[in-house]
Amino acid sequence: MYSKETIAAISTGMSNSGIGIVRISGEEAFQVIDKIYKGKEVLSKVQSHTIHYGYIVDGKETIDEVLVSIMRAPRTFTGEDTVEINCHGGVYVVKRVLDTVLRNGARPAEPGEFTKRAFLNGKMDLSQAEAVIDVITAKNEYALKSSMSQLKGSVKKKIEEIRKQIIYHTAFIETALDDPEHISVDGYGEQLEGVVETLSEELKDLIDSSENGRIMKEGIQTVILGKPNAGKSSLLNVLSGRERAIVTDIEGTTRDVLEEQIQIQGLNLNVIDTAGIRETEDKVEKIGVDKAKEYAEQADLIIYVVDASRELDENDIEIMKIIAGKKAVILLNKMDLNVLISKENLEQQLQKEIGGACKNIPMIEISAKEEQGIRDFENLLKKMFLQGEISFNDEVYITNMRQKSALQDAYNSLKKVKESIEMGMPEDFYSIDLMDAYEALGSITGETIGEDLVNEIFSKFCMGK
């Protein structure tokens, strides 16, 4: 699983910039840099965690003026001797520096191999390693804070606490079964049942946190629905801060879907502006309407835009049926015009058409054209999707589907323990399912995971990390 070869890669983006970084890690990192560095010092002999000015040379040719960081094992990211060459950030010069490194004793690093070595050398557990890529790909404040919390060990700490309790009770049962004359398990099932219930609740909280975690990481899949000319495209333009969609008085202007990523109150919305919902003979527009309904089925949030300056019609009724039972918000748009539809009118119609399925659907009066009510809408979104204050000091958020799956496996195993206790099964049944839960949780931190899965996880990382 672990190659001792010295590896190297470009750790900065492949575009022209002020600075580029080439990272070298491994037992021969210092020998490699000694061959290609020209300066006042021999870098293999300098103190750790120091920076040195000089040049990268290829034989007699000077490649670039550089600053080189020297970091000795084990106090490095990978746990190995590490060199970082800070050179000028032109794509050609960075590639030339890397090529010189590779021709003098290092091999090209695989994607994620630096972080993989950090994991294998015990510098971080697997949940922290996965957080590294989440930090890199974070698209908003919440995603970054959640990823940094996990990188600092929040998930690791929580999982270790639960595993510690599980292995304690497993060991007790196994010991008692091996030495029944001195250790009694009479009445132990009742005590264990209480422990299992508590641990199950903790696992359930972690599993439930994955919904907030997913939203932080991936964004809210949002679909804008409304009949033609209700102001959907105007709303998209206001939210995105630019003329993303064509706005006219002609019905059916939007025939296909428009997709836009928008950040509101620190949340990412993956917004889809759809064709206006109406009966139409136009084949192209009909395809757009069908797509709108399809996207609505898969959405985290539906924004139903109502034209308050026009009476409700059969198209509105169709949309009401689409949003029934879904997470939705209704925006009464065009409140700057002569208003014909009030909140009360709309509530009555919703009750008539979809009954209890419309319960708790919030409504806000807006004017997309005049940008009125938009702030109220933005505040509502945060309240709807991130209940209460989001604290990254005490709470743990699961943002990784692999981790969620492992938590679910552990939860199911503890559920079996509880069932065995209630059925009066022998104690060895308890320990089997307890160990299954222990193993499932160990896969989150990487303590019980196969080489193939480790390789798969790190293969998804970017080059140079």
Considering the domain architecture, whether residues 110 and 144 belong to the same structural domain is answered as no
- Report yes or no on 195 lying in a domain: yes
Lowest mean pLDDT of 19-23, 108-112, 316-320, name the range: 316-320
pLDDT value of position 354: 84
* Domain final position from 125, 140, 166: 125
Across 123-127, average pLDDT: 92
pLDDT value of position 175: 87
Paired with 130 in beta bridges are: none
- Report yes or no on 20 lying in a domain: yes
Total residue count of the chain as it appears in this document: 465
pLDDT value of position 394: 55
Across 196-209, average pLDDT: 94
Give residue-wise pLDDT tens across range 3-59: 789 999 999 988 899 999 999 999 999 999 999 999 999 999 999 999 999 999 999
Considering the domain architecture, whether residues 198 and 293 belong to the same structural domain is answered as no
Instruction: Report the alpha-carbon distance of residue 145 to residue 138 in Å, rounded.
Output: 9
Lowest mean pLDDT of 105-119, 182-196, 395-409, name the range: 182-196
- 115 is in which domain, residue-wise? 7-125
Considering the domain architecture, whether residues 379 and 408 belong to the same structural domain is answered as no
| CATH number (domain holding residue 179) | 1.20.120.430
As a whole-number percent, the residues of the chain with pLDDT over 90 amount to 48
Considering the domain architecture, whether residues 44 and 189 belong to the same structural domain is answered as no
- Count of CB atoms situated within 10 Å of the CB of 337: 14
Q: Which two tokens stand for residue 182?
A: 């001195």
Considering the domain architecture, whether residues 266 and 139 belong to the same structural domain is answered as no
- Report yes or no on 464 lying in a domain: no
- Report yes or no on 396 lying in a domain: no
Q: Examine the pLDDT at 248 and tell me if it is beyond 70.
A: no
Considering the domain architecture, whether residues 120 and 140 belong to the same structural domain is answered as no
Highest mean pLDDT among 89-103, 121-135, 293-307, 347-361: 89-103
More confident position, 392 or 75: 75
- Report yes or no on 391 lying in a domain: no
- Report yes or no on 430 lying in a domain: yes
pLDDT band of residue 288 (cuts 50, 70, 90) is: low
pLDDT value of position 167: 95
- Report yes or no on 2 lying in a domain: no
Residues 6+ positions from 141 with CB-CB distance below 8 Å:
266
Considering the domain architecture, whether residues 271 and 380 belong to the same structural domain is answered as yes
Q: Are 359 and 330 in contact (CB under 8 A)?
A: no
As a whole-number percent, the residues of the chain with pLDDT over 70 amount to 90
- Number of domain units in the chain: 3
Considering the domain architecture, whether residues 93 and 44 belong to the same structural domain is answered as yes
Q: Which two tokens stand for residue 30?
A: 């210092």
pLDDT value of position 1: 53
Entry pTM: 0.76
Instruction: Report the alpha-carbon distance of residue 65 to residue 204 in Å, rounded.
Output: 55
Which secondary structure element, helix H or strand E, spans residue 378, and what is its range? Answer: helix 374-385
Considering the domain architecture, whether residues 246 and 365 belong to the same structural domain is answered as yes
pLDDT value of position 375: 92
pLDDT value of position 244: 46
Considering the domain architecture, whether residues 143 and 292 belong to the same structural domain is answered as no
pLDDT band of residue 267 (cuts 50, 70, 90) is: confident
Residues 6+ positions from 148 with CB-CB distance below 8 Å:
131, 135, 392
Considering the domain architecture, whether residues 145 and 113 belong to the same structural domain is answered as no
Please choose, from the candidates 316, 320, 317, 303, the residue with its C-alpha nearest in 3D space to the C-alpha of residue 384: 303
Kindly report the backbone phi and psi dihedral angles of residue 229, in degrees, each rounded to the nearest multiple of 5, phi listed first: 65, 25
Chain position carrying tokens 């702030």: 375
* Domain final position from 74, 100, 125: 125
Considering the domain architecture, whether residues 319 and 247 belong to the same structural domain is answered as yes
Across 82-90, average pLDDT: 97
Across 340-352, average pLDDT: 88
More confident position, 91 or 245: 91
Give residue-wise pLDDT tens across range 419-464: 999 998 888 888 999 999 999 999 999 988 888 878 888 887 877 7
Cis ω before 180 (30° cut-off from 0): no
- Report yes or no on 1 lying in a domain: no
- Count of CB atoms situated within 10 Å of the CB of 115: 24
| CATH number (domain holding residue 61) | 3.30.1360.120
Q: Examine the pLDDT at 253 and tell me if it is beyond 70.
A: no
Instruction: Report the alpha-carbon distance of residue 441 to residue 203 in Å, rounded.
Output: 10
pLDDT value of position 278: 54
Give residue-wise pLDDT tens across range 361-397: 899 999 998 999 999 998 898 888 765 444 544 578 8
Give residue-wise pLDDT tens across range 269-282: 898 887 666 555 55
| CATH number (domain holding residue 235) | 3.40.50.300
Lowest mean pLDDT of 167-171, 214-218, 242-246, name the range: 242-246
pLDDT value of position 187: 74
* Domain final position from 353, 385, 417: 385
- Count of CB atoms situated within 10 Å of the CB of 341: 19
Which secondary structure element, helix H or strand E, spans residue 64, and what is its range? Answer: strand 61-71
